[in-house]
């Protein structure tokens, strides 16, 4: 079974975007000086990316208009409405994320990158679908915004795999504890 990895940057106070959904705060002098070697290494471990519809729209309209930044990865966009027909390498799906990830996980291949956004991350956490958390904590306090994790009634035991400097922030990698039972509805 392929792993599902949440790979994302977060502010020191726990936000993945500012109050307007923007992520320009990620473009810090520290990040520019550090380059994106950690990101490049991570990309070598995945061949599939899963994101929500709002994240997709932000990528194609704000972050990388005119050029798909995930060429070479098979992309799945979870959306409640179909805005566009599938394109080469990009599939728009309207079904439960658990069904999608279980289907993708049973196919051969590299790991699956859970890219965001917040609703998708919450749904995956609630259904215990995330195998590893690769969280880059950036040196900024946003004060408000879209939190990485919404309140949840469940506890998820994790084990720290590694921690270090990467891409202008502190990259912490956590894995689900082996002794923790995986719950599938």
Burial 147-184 (b: 16+ CB within 10 A, else e): bbeeeeeeebebeeeeeeebbbbebbbbbbeeeeeeee
Q: What is the percent of the chain with per-residue pLDDT over 90, rounded to a whole number?
A: 65
Confidence label for 179 from pLDDT (cuts 50, 70 and 90) = low
Is the per-residue pLDDT at 83 higher than 90?
A: no
Domain 4-176 in CATH 3.40.430.10? The answer is yes
Confidence label for 31 from pLDDT (cuts 50, 70 and 90) = low
Give the model's pLDDT for residue 12. Answer: 97
Give the model's pLDDT for residue 34. Answer: 67
Burial 98-127 (b: 16+ CB within 10 A, else e): bebbeebbeeeeebbbbbbbbbbbbebbbb
- Predicted structure pTM score: 0.90
Phi, psi (rounded to 5 degrees) for 126: -60, -30
Phi/psi class of residue 119: alpha, beta or left (left: φ > 0; alpha: ψ in -120 to 50)?
A: alpha
CB 11 within 8 A of CB 142: yes
């Amino acid at each position: 079974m392929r792993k599902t990895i949440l790979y994302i940057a977060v502010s020191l106070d726990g936000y993945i975007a500012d109050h307007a959904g923007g992520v320009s705060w990620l473009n810090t002098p520290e990040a520019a000086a550090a380059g994106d070697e950690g990101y490049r290494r991570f990309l070598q471990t995945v061949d599939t990316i899963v994101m929500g519809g709002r994240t997709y729209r932000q990528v194609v309209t704000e972050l990388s208009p005119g050029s798909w930044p995930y060429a070479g990865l098979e992309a799945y966009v979870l959306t409640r409405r179909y805005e566009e027909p599938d394109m080469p390498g990009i599939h728009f799906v309207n079904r439960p994320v658990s069904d999608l990830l279980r289907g993708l996980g049973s196919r051969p291949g590299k790991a699956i990158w859970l890219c965001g956004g917040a609703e998708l991350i919450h749904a995956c956490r609630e259904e215990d679908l995330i195998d590893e958390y690769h969280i880059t904590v950036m040196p900024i306090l946003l004060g408000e915004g879209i939190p990485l994790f919404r309140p949840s009634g469940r506890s998820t035991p994790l084990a720290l795999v590694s921690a270090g400097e990467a891409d202008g922030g502190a990259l912490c990698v956590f894995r689900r504890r082996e002794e923790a039972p995986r719950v599938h509805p």
